[in-house]
Amino acid sequence: MGFDWRGLRFEGTFQDPTDLLPKSGIYVIWCNRGNGLAILDIGESGDVRGRVLSHRKDCWQEKCVGQITYAAHYTPALDEAGRKRLESQLRTTDHPPCGSA
């Protein structure tokens, strides 16, 4: 399953972060409050699954009253600098409460 968001194709949203692939990309962490999704975090990694499994869970749990869900836009053609630029653009637009730009 997938969806388009901010002009990018994302896979998800998944309730289990192990459904994410160990590939390079941009990840978005959402809070499903029953009446829609709210962004918790946006990041990039050469291994999306590994990063999400070892990253900022305390903040996500603190900021989400609902189900935490996960999505990824995989970027095999982008290097780390390209992923960081894309992450920065998304974070600037959406201002997630967890992490910093």
Prediction pTM value: 0.92
pLDDT of residue 100: 66
The answer on pLDDT for 88 being more than 80 is yes
Domain boundaries, the chain: 2-94
**28-87 pLDDT tens trace:** 999 998 888 999 999 999 999 999 999 878 999 999 999 999 999 999 999 999 999 999
pLDDT of residue 74: 98
Architecture per CATH, domain 2-94, reads as 3-Layer(aba) Sandwich (3.40)
Q: How far is CA 58 from the centre of its chain?
A: 15
